[in-house]
Structure 1
Amino acid sequence: MTRVSTPAQAATRITGRAVAEQHRLAGAVTAVVLDSGDTVVVKRGHAPGAALAEAAGLRWLGEAGAVRVPEVRGHDDEWLVTELVGGGRPTHRAAERLGRGLAALHASGAPRFGSPPPGGPVDAWIGLARMENAPGEDWPRWYAEYRVLPYVRRAVDEGTLDGDEAAVIERACARLPAVAGPAEPPARLHGDLWNGNVLWGAVEASLIDPAAHGGHRETDLAMLRLFGCPLLDRVLAAYQEIAPLADGWTERTEAHQLFPLLVHTVLFGRSYAGQAVAAARTVGR
């Protein structure tokens, strides 16, 4: 098979249409106008299987019919082609619709904690970091084993966390069964729900770049809180109207933020390590 080396070649190969024009959006993402007049987004996977993982995640989220995600137009081993979803300014209407949509998305469920999307790989990614979608039944144990400790070990090996800091996070993991709150069924998570993956519009927001898997619904919401989602109070109020969170959920936020903070620690270094350790101290006390 001939290797596709440009976004235009990938778009033609996957859609069967010629390319009229193109322009770079960011990084490995390009907007391509096809000869049909349709504009698509062409994204090059950063590793083998990355395009497949993202395509499977988008389809799984889209099947719930709860939140808008880009329609997958096709993919191969290297490239993903999706619908272009427009950005805009956040509005109260869109924020409330997002909150209700997230509640419905989470309620659509997953077979187990850690379940990958149907057709998606076990060895997946969150951003540029590896993420293992290994299933488990007990959320605190699964979360510690597959969403916290792998990144602690990597950060220690790379010198980003020291042994004392790692011990603080390990103690927080040991506390998770006591602080996790009431048991909940696995939710269908976006998995990388920071504000940069929310594209706003006047009527609704669209979610892009998922690291989709079965998990605890509070993890998605904690990630929105961590990275500064606009109109978050409206999002959460609308969520609560549809699917009220268990008492004490705000006190559990730091536990759910350990995952994204440690991912950022291994990807971006010491600037996030202090936040991860501070969150772990809150959980462990």
Structure 2
Amino acid sequence: MKPRLSPAVVLIVLLVLVVAAGPLLSPYAPNAQLDIIALRSQAPSLSHPFGTDAVSRDVLSRVLDGGRVSLALAILSVSLSLVLGTLYGAVSTLAGGVVDTTMRRLLDVALSIPRLLVLLAVGALWGALSFPALVLLIGLTGWFDTARLVTDELHALNGREFTVAARAVGVRGPRLLWRHLLPHVLPTLVINASFGVAGTIALEAGLSYLGLGIQAPQASWGTILRDGAGVVQTEWWLSLFPGLATVFAVLACNAVGDALRERFAPNHVPSPDVAPARVPGVASPPALSSSRTVRP
């Protein structure tokens, strides 16, 4: 019996709705200094459920506003990674031969470079990064896994009965990829996107905490954590609530990814046990095992 997807969907939909409705739910403007004397560093109360920070800003309002920034950055950067990785894998498979082999080796080199090290180096050299620059930086350094997944999936599908039938009626090249191969890769891409969003939320929080991500006064979960880093014992609410929001978002996205993987993995197209026929215009697949697991 297939696992139900509804609990994971409820989690992610609830998260998206709360974050999207942040401007309506926020009791105050996220950067408003309410009373620098009377409301400075106040513990959670009925009027300020998440407390206030050192400059009397309402933490609940900042967590809601920061959630929109963190989620938007994660979704946009992962979308960019998916587009680039899919295009790279499709071009590699369509080209075949020496071009395919060369592109695969270049992908191996790219995957061997620690992504976090690249992000830290670029952030340190570039200085303060704007929101679009962060989306580009995270997206341009995160598509290599997607490219590997797409390439492996397309090669595994090479030689299947439906591709042979499509070629028999004259379907070749890009049309074969677009109409008959890439649709079978879509479940893997969706699963990869869900795990990618979870990882990017945590990555953005870490970069912003280090001062290399979202910059003040713009709120994100990482910047709020950074504001409370030095006062955890006395102003614990500054670290607790954005930290819980980050954990909840990551768990929700991972829950969706796990549920999707459990649902689609049994129906996933296995690699053929025999060597597939040579496909004109598409590279022959390498030797693969008869069962594959989806790599998040």
Q: TM-score range by the shorter chain?
A: under 0.3
Structure with bigger helix share is 2
* Structure with greater Cα Rg: 2
State TM-score, norm by structure 2. 0.23
Where relative contact order (Cα < 8 A, 6+ residues apart) is larger, the structure is: 2
Structure with bigger strand share is 1
